[in-house]
Chain A
Amino acid sequence: MGKRLDLTLRIWRQKNTNSSGEFVTYDLENVDVNASFLEMLDVLNEKLTLSGDEPVAFEHDCREGICGSCGAMVNGKAHGGEDKTTLCQLHMRHFKSGDVIVIEPFRAKALPVVKDLVVDRSALDRIIESGGYISVKTGSAPEANQILVKKDLADRAMDAASCIGCSACVAACPNASAMLFTSAKVVHLGSLPQGSTEAASRVINMVDEMKTNGFGNCSNEYLCEAACPKGIKVSNIAKMNQWYKQAMTNQPLSE
């Protein structure tokens, strides 16, 4: 049994997309420091349920930092601001007894609040649908050395592929831009032989789709990189910028 915390939570409560929400304050005592942030919310929800109140809606699935379901602004920082940490992997040991914790949903016009802390992220799915795939079936896993991939490109693709689509980058960006998310997919697929054939049309279509969904423009603030739980680098955005320019001028895309 670890230390216990007494906390004051200010949580955004909103019935549905069309209602206007507000912060509601809850006192939560006796929280285990070893609990994760979501477990702490579970405890609160149990209390709320027992007293006949509506529990706080929040999204979660894996609770091990790999699925991208969870996420909220905690004290003004996406996922709570710990380095490379999703909300489910944020632990209560980072807080002190007596702390006031403000929990607000990720906000962007393209990601409307569904209820409380749950936002609708289908705009990110639409970006993927516009080009974040390869059109040909590549079959089951081939012999590893059949198609040779340069080590640095393989590394770059692998790093970019680790995006879990949590949308913290959009939430942290002062312009609610989806450039980091989109560039991760563009660079992931475009760096590999199977994905590079469609790289030019992919970058054009996916960049277009960001705008159609009402995401903002990148102003090189790099707050997305700081907020990303998977350490996706803004160098992916630079690559996407370069490829976009080359694709629009019918030049071959550079490596």
Chain B
Amino acid sequence: MRVTFTVNGRPQEADDVWEGESLLYVLRERLGLPGSKNACEQGECGSCTVRLDGVPVCSCLVAAGQAEGREIVTVEGLAEHARERARAAAPRTSDTTGASDPSGSGPGASGTAGTPLDAARAWRAHGADPHTGDGTELAPVQQAFIDAGAVQCGFCTPGLLVAADEMLERNPNPSDADIREALSGNLCRCTGYEKIMDAVRLAAARQGEAV
């Protein structure tokens, strides 16, 4: 069957999808977006976490056909998603005419925004280079993971980033308990979680400073 849906703000089509296939498989194998990881295929590890109409879900447990017409955000689109969110939240500076911002529809809205499939496929996580200031393309939560040393093998990282980013969107001042709860569906075999906690605290603190 064919599945037509929006991925990272852009309309996409996947053909020859088997009816029992998971959204995770479609993203990785049919759309060439391997950012979402497959570690368990049974909802236990969270490394396949994506946003489905804004809501964090395990993409390994969503049937591909259930994604028809829905909006997906994967880790490859996270930076753009965070930028859109910041843009939508930013106070309007030259709003003297009273005209409203036609593009102020927030993250996930289609149109010219979003991450094209080619760009998403070619996406690389460049850390901020302290010399060049390069790396502004990362979402704040991604930068915080790098700065806090929260990435070892990196297999859990995409799912954690999507889950952490969504929590920070809902809850800009999370307590440690809030962070643990929000990330309780994401397993990491390497870090022992402390650096991940540091990273999310750091992202929250930076987000607070920015406003």
A, B: real partners = no
Chain B positions within 8 Å of A, measured between CB atoms, are none
